[in-house]
Copies of this chain bind each other. A is one copy, B any other.
Amino acid sequence: MSIPVTILDVAERAGVSPATVSHTLNGKRPVGKETREKVLRAIEELGYVPSWNASRMKGGKSGIIGCLAADITETFVNQIVRGIEHGLTGGEFSLFFVSGIEFGNDLKKAYDFLKSHKVEGILFCHHLPIWKEFNLDIQNSTIPIVSVNMDTPNMISVIPDNYTGGYQAAEHLYGCGMRNPAMICGPQDRLSVQDRLKGFSQRVKELKLTLPDDKYFGTYDYNHGFSATERLMKEHPLTDGIFCANDYIAAGAIACLQKAGYHVPQQVRVVGFDNRDFSEFWNVPITTFELPLQEMGMLGVSILKQIINTGVYHTEKRILQSRILPRESSKG
């Protein structure tokens, strides 16, 4: 498509040495005013841009942070990525984003790919424990890794407090008058679901209330919310407060309850999770929890930067609180 312009071309055109061109660009030593102008003009005219590869051949630093993420169309992923991008502004590092999809979810391959690009750190952004498959590599990885969203053993993790979210949901629903609680969960293999359930159960127990044995596990969507609620209200007709593992489920639950003639929130209170874009405007606005996703991304970057710059690695968990957004679906 075109012959790449090198520093030699610029040097020749400006009538100077390549070294001078280099120093004009990254100012590591003084350059005469007139020379500098000649060089800059030549660069402009030739459309020269230094080759990143060649630059990185010398020194170690690549100035790149890699991000290995699940499906980018998932809200939790793209929110975190956005936070990462924000954390990156300043130009010290740039982001090499890699989705599992590109590698057929072969994590090892994706990891090696990032390594081959000499990334100085990796942000791991997933919702499933797929790291297990290549656990060994991670443990003695020569590249610092921060796991955002998943609590990953032996790895620095930035995670949302799903447990406390569940706990607060119970507390809130109790305050709104709930005495016969129930929970409709999402996929059983998700840590987020398990933690929300644990927190909810704990507070329910403390309040001397009881929960149905069935936790109504299922997919994270509207249809599951609807059908699970149908079953729940048949099996436990006295239920007057439902904690749903996310807002899609909550939306389905509310629709089902209304169809069955229950008043929400007067007869049955509903709380969701994740604060989806529709939750605020649902026909009964949904009480929910907002996860600090962007903050998590930013924190992940800042931890990684610190490790890279200091060389000090210290396995730790950083837990960020979720925030309850009380709305009509649970009002006393």
A94 x B89 contact (CB < 8 A): no
CB of A56 within 8 Å of the partner chain: yes
> A265-282: contact bitstring with B at CB < 8 Å (1 yes, 0 no)?
000000000001110111
CB of A127 within 8 Å of the partner chain: no
Given the complex, which residues of B lie within 8 Å of A47, measured CB to CB? 137, 142
CB of A204 within 8 Å of the partner chain: no
> A95-117: contact bitstring with B at CB < 8 Å (1 yes, 0 no)?
11111011010000000110111
B82 x A1 contact (CB < 8 A): no
Interface residues on A, range: 35 or more
Given the complex, which residues of B lie within 8 Å of A96, measured CB to CB? 96-97
A89 CB contact (under 8 Å) in B2, B49, B102, B311:
B102
CB of A329 within 8 Å of the partner chain: no
A79, B101: Cα distance in complex, Å: 13
B142 x A2 contact (CB < 8 A): yes
A146, B112: Cα distance in complex, Å: 29
A102, B94: Cα distance in complex, Å: 8
| Shortest distance between the CB of A328 and any CB in chain B (Å) | 13
A280, B235: Cα distance in complex, Å: 28
Excluding A78-B78, A82-B99, A276-B278, 9 further A-B contacts by CB distance (< 8 Å) are A4-B60, A49-B115, A50-B116, A55-B116, A72-B81, A73-B79, A73-B82, A94-B102, A276-B277
Ordered nearest first, which 10 A-B pairs have the shortest CB separation?
Answer: A97-B97, A278-B278, A2-B142, A53-B53, A52-B116, A49-B115, A85-B101, A283-B283, A222-B281, A49-B116
- Name A residues whose Cβ lies closer than 8 Å to a Cβ of B: 1-2, 4, 47, 49-57, 60, 62, 71-73, 75, 78-79, 81-82, 85-86, 88-89, 94-99, 101-102, 104, 112-113, 115-118, 137, 142-144, 222, 248, 251-252, 255, 276-278, 280-283, 308, 311, 313
